[in-house]
Amino acid sequence: MIFLLNSLDKNYQTKIIKDLSKIISKSPFFTPTLPRFNNPFKIKISNAGKWGWVSNVNGYQYVREHPITNKKWPKIPKSLLFLWQKHCCKINLPDSCLINLYSFPNSSLGIHQDKNEKDLTNPVLSISLGSNAIFRYGENKNKLNEICLKSGAICMLKGSSRLYYHGVKKIQKVKKNIIDTCDFDCFPKDCRINITLRKFEF
């Protein structure tokens, strides 16, 4: 797994947060539920791009439309496509952008692999914004490493780490949360946002 811990400066983070607020105004956050048992995740999500990742009683899926508004997902903003082109690939662009919202203090995300994509040789790029995440990752589920992901960090699942297990143990609030500074009603105080760019189709 590749970590670029201080990758994005404050201006770039602010630009992304503005772009996200536009996405959320058209495509509001909703709470996904776990396959089979249908209990709610401890995060909310939304998406941009041709394919949005959702989870419900039927399983994990990539879908074309928001499950509540039934509208197509908004476009992936240029600010995010640029980061993919810089760190992953110039030509092959992502067709999916998952936005995870972690509210402080009760959000977390279970240990999982990203493996619903059709071609697992394409990388996954994720961006952390706002509060800190205590992030766990590793090749072996029973032997995980822990790292603190701060606002502006980029992580990539690429090459031999593409199928690494990972999850978020907890959220730690920070003194000056950049999302709060931007002052958008759609993001709760002290939250963390994680953006995941992926290519679902071939």
Number of C-beta neighbours around residue 111 at 10 A:
15
Per CB under 6 A, 168 contacts ligand SIN: yes
DSSP state of 178: H
Per CB under 5 A, 117 contacts Fe ion: no
196, 197, 198, 200: which one binds ligand SIN (CB under 6 A) = 196
In the bound state with Fe ion, the residue whose beta carbon lies nearer, of 12 and 60, is 60
CA–CA distances in Å: residue 198 to residues 103, 172, 177, 190: 23, 26, 26, 26
19, 95, 114, 190: which one binds Fe ion (CB under 5 A) = 114
In the bound state with Fe ion, the residue whose beta carbon lies nearer, of 114 and 190, is 114
Query: How wide is the angle at C-alpha 24 spanned by C-alphas 100 and 151, nearest 5°?
Result: 45
Residues 77-136 that bind ligand SIN (CB under 6 A): 100, 109, 126, 133, 135
Of all residues in the shown chain, the one whose CB is closest to ligand SIN is 194
Distance, CA of 189 to CA of 138 (rounded, Å): 31
- Distance of closest approach, residue 112 Cβ to Fe ion, in angstroms: 6
Instruction: Tell me how far the alpha carbon of residue 127 is from its chain's centroid.
Output: 7
Number of C-beta neighbours around residue 47 at 10 A:
23
Given Fe ion, ligand SIN, none, residue 168, with its beta carbon under 5 to 8 Å by kind, binds: ligand SIN
Per CB under 6 A, 166 contacts ligand SIN: yes
In the bound state with ligand SIN, the residue whose beta carbon lies nearer, of 90 and 111, is 111
Count CA within 13 A, CB hemisphere, residue 120. 9
- Could you list the residues that contact ligand SIN (CB under 6 A)? 100, 109, 126, 133, 135, 166, 168, 194, 196
